[in-house]
Amino acid sequence: MHRRKQIAMTDAEVAAFLDEQRTLTCATIGPSGWPHLAPLWFVVRDGQIWAWTYGKSQKVRNLERDPRATLQVEAGVDYSELRGVTFECDVVIHRDLDTVTGIGVELAHRYTGGAGLAPGAEEMMRRQAAKRVGLQFVERKRTSWDHRKLGGGY
Task: Supply the range of the domain harboring residue 90.
Answer: 3-150
CATH of the domain at 133: 2.30.110.10
Residues 6 or more apart from 29 whose CB is under 8 A from it?
35, 36, 62, 65, 66, 68
- Collapsed DSSP state (helix, strand, coil) of residue 90: strand
Considering the entire predicted model, what is its pTM? Answer: 0.92
Report pLDDT digits (tens) over 109-137. 898 876 667 777 788 888 989 999 999 99
CB 28 within 8 A of CB 66: yes
What is the C-alpha to C-alpha distance for residues 105 and 107, in angstroms, rounded to an integer?
Answer: 5
103 phi and psi angles, rounded to 5 deg: -65, -45
For the chain, report the end-to-end CA distance as a whole number of angstroms: 13
Number of domains in the chain: 1
Give 21-87 as a DSSP string.
---EEEEEE-TTSSEEEEEE--EEETTEEEEEEETTSHHHHHHHH--EEEEEEEE-SSGGG-EEEEE
- pLDDT tens-place string over residues 56-105: 999 999 999 999 999 999 999 998 899 999 999 999 999 999 999 999 99
- For residues 86 and 73, give the distance between their C-alpha atoms in angstroms, rounded to a whole number: 7
